[in-house]
Amino acid sequence: MMNMKKIWMDGNLVEWDNATVHILTHTLHYGLGVFEGIRCYETDKGPAVFRLKEHVDRFYCSAHILQMDIPYDKDAITNAIKETIKANDLKECYIRPIAYLGYGAMGLYPKDNPVKVSIAVWPWGAYLGEKGLNEGIRVKVSSFTRHHVNVSMTKAKVCGSYVNSIMAKMEAVSSGYDEAVLLDTEGYVAEGSGENIFIVRGGVLKTTSLTSILEGITRDSIIRIAQNEGIEVYEQRFTRDELYIADEAFLTGTAAEITPIREVDARPIGDGRPGPITKKLQGTFFDIVRGKRQDYEPWLSYIS
Ligand code: PPE
């Protein structure tokens, strides 16, 4: 990771190298913390954050689920995000707010530990590679199962939940794949290690219903874009073999953006190249985030 200039920590912009925490930071030991992943894109009107309100709202929902009391209101965090982008002079960046339990008591009853908040930003290119974005990626159905809905609360973006994602991702990469797709506890397709998943069959779009998955903001954007373009969308669970026989498939996420899937478990998807609906939605998405679509302006928050 390249050094940036400043990181927002509990109300102050501190030097990148000084943005450190104590080794007994509670979240470091037990994983109870929440974070967000947001992107800011360059537009003709300067840097614009994509769906900032929705991300800030989800940050607070995650904290609410974990009974963490973020000691700032939403406006303060929204302003802090903009301030951090400005302080780092970045036109395009990834934004990582995190709320975590600081130094205090150890043990599993962190009632008096302070809730700390930080916001870091850095440039982050194509998450699954530029080639992946253009030509599609190869995914492996993971041997690890996604969290049961009553295990770690999948609607919260919880730090500790990502142990499951990281194990799946490492397994996929060490098996020669680009990314993992996890099944839910009942064996239906859930999501990628850090992305939601869509398939196209017979011109109709399908994505996992909001059961065992994170309520992705990119997922929501794609559903709305597709509906606006007259494409039928179903939010329902589907099976691993339905993924195998999809005409098209793609992953969505803030980091991964819209990444086509060209192969699942050694089976090509469609003709092994990004399909027309995937390409169309991906094109519209990139036009929107780069401020080229007047009709989607409300999704952008300009920095300057
Ligand atoms: N599911 C999971 C498990 C997930 O982590 C993400 C985002 C999504 C779905 C898509 O959500 P959204 O970004 O709102 O469309 N994953 C974040 C973390 C990636 C990372 O490596 O860190 C992200 O994309 O920012």
Tens of pLDDT, residue by residue over 127-142, are: 999 999 999 999 999 9
CA distances from 231 to 201, 226, 234 (A): 11, 5, 10
Separation of CA 14 and ligand 1 centre (Å): 26
Ligand 1 lined by 194 (C-beta under 6 Å): yes
Q: pTM (2 decimals)?
A: 0.98
- Residue-level pLDDT at 130: 97
Of 254, 255, 252, which Cα lies nearest the Cα of 278? 252
304, pLDDT greater than 90: no
Separation of CA 105 and ligand 1 centre (Å): 30
Mean pLDDT of 62-88: 98
- Residue-level pLDDT at 295: 98
**Averaged confidence pLDDT in the chain:** 97
- Residue-level pLDDT at 179: 98
302, pLDDT greater than 90: yes
pLDDT (tens digit per residue) in 135-177: 999 999 999 999 999 998 999 999 999 999 999 999 999 999 9
Q: Of all atoms in ligand 1, which is nearest to the CA of residue 38?
A: 25
Other residues' Cβ atoms within 10 Å of the Cβ of residue 276: 12
